[in-house]
A = this chain, B = another copy of it.
Amino acid sequence: MPIITLTTDFGTKDHFVGAVKGAIYSTISDAKIVDVSHEISPFNITETAYILKNTYKNFPEGTIHIIGVDSELNEENKHIALLLNGHYFVCPDNGIISMIAAEINPSKLVEINIHDRLETSFSVLDVFVQVAAHIARGGTLEVIGKPMQDFKRLFELQPQISDEHHKIIGNVIYIDNYGNIISNITEKLFKEVGKGRDFILKASRYNFKKIHHKYSDIVDFKLPTHLRQTDGSRLAIFNSAGFIEIAVYKSNLKTVGGASSLLGLDYRDNITIEFLK
């Protein structure tokens, strides 16, 4: 029962996702198809990388991940298939893989060469499904592609560290369903650079001196409920994906707003940590 995941910018209204699922079931009748996300902003591979990076390892090894974001074949955007960290990926060679797992080398990597002469604009349906079916049947990558040395390297925004390790300058890389702002500063980097020093985290015009592990850490449970006033409070947190996040407690983008709207922070804006002493 092979598992095939789909991560695309197709949206869920149009026929694209349904057509791809139909084609998969027509070829691999016992496939399990899982939607990772179809709500990626059109052509946005930074978002795609953040989402897949935090998803793929939860699946069993051998899972096949199809990425349908900016996947039209052209002379600068080849199609590749690879085995990386025990997982198969079928995707365009547009840098996405280096953003998902820059530090890991794929154990197998091929440029897909099963394209018919007529190239199409719906690569996921016409090419990726066939490649996934081949892998699901236990076929080797060499049959559907030509071995290659490396994929395209494209580095997402990296946090900068000041010369004397007094400062980390990061950026907003993702805004989630609650409007919470995710930076590219990981808990790991924060600890390596900070070595336990006190610090000031600066996001927009707000300062934070503590980074929590749970949202409700800011609630004082000793106070009676009506005196707490935590809803709408700002906090910094190491989120469950391991990144520093600026959140608003119990926010709601459609009503009271979230961190993104309330703090006026957007994609690529700076999040800075200054270590004291």
A66 to chain B, nearest CB (A): 13
A-B contact pairs, 5 of them (CB 8 A): A11-B39, A17-B36, A18-B55, A25-B34, A76-B221
CB-CB contacts of A148-166 with B at 8 A, as 1s and 0s? 0000000000000000000
User: In the assembled complex, which residues on chain B have CB atoms less than 8 Å from the CB atom of A240?
Assistant: 120-122, 125-126
> Provided the pairs A60-B29, A214-B121 are in contact, do residues A37 and B55 lie with their beta carbons within 8 angstroms?
no
Q: Is A54 an interface residue (CB 8 A)?
A: yes
User: Taking the complex as formed, is A191 at the interface, i.e. its CB lies under 8 A from any CB of chain B?
Assistant: no
Q: Does A211 belong to the interface (CB within 8 Å)?
A: no
- Report Cα–Cα, A105/B58, bound state, in Å: 35
A275 at the B interface (CB under 8 A): no
Identify which of B38, B59, B122, B213 contacts A121 (C-beta below 8 A): B213
**A5 interface residue per 8 A CB criterion:** yes
Q: State the number of copies, please.
A: 3
Contact residues on A (Cβ < 8 Å of other chain), bracket: 35 or more
Task: Name the contact of A75 in the complex, choosing from B41, B50, B53, B221 (C-beta under 8 A).
Answer: B221
Q: A26-B60, A121-B214, A252-B43 are in contact. Are A221 and B74 (CB under 8 A)?
A: yes
A45 to chain B, nearest CB (A): 12
Q: Provided the pairs A60-B25, A60-B29 are in contact, do residues A178 and B42 lie with their beta carbons within 8 angstroms?
A: yes
A30, B32: Cα distance in complex, Å: 9
Interface residue ranges of A1-58 to B (CB < 8 Å): 1, 3, 5, 7, 9-23, 25-26, 29-30, 32-43, 50-58
A239/B30 in contact, CB under 8 A: no
Q: Are A1 and B29 in contact (CB-based, < 8 A)?
A: yes
Asked if B25 and A3 sit within 8 Å, CB to CB, the answer is yes
Q: Report A98-141 residues with CB < 8 Å from chain B CB.
A: 118-122, 125-126
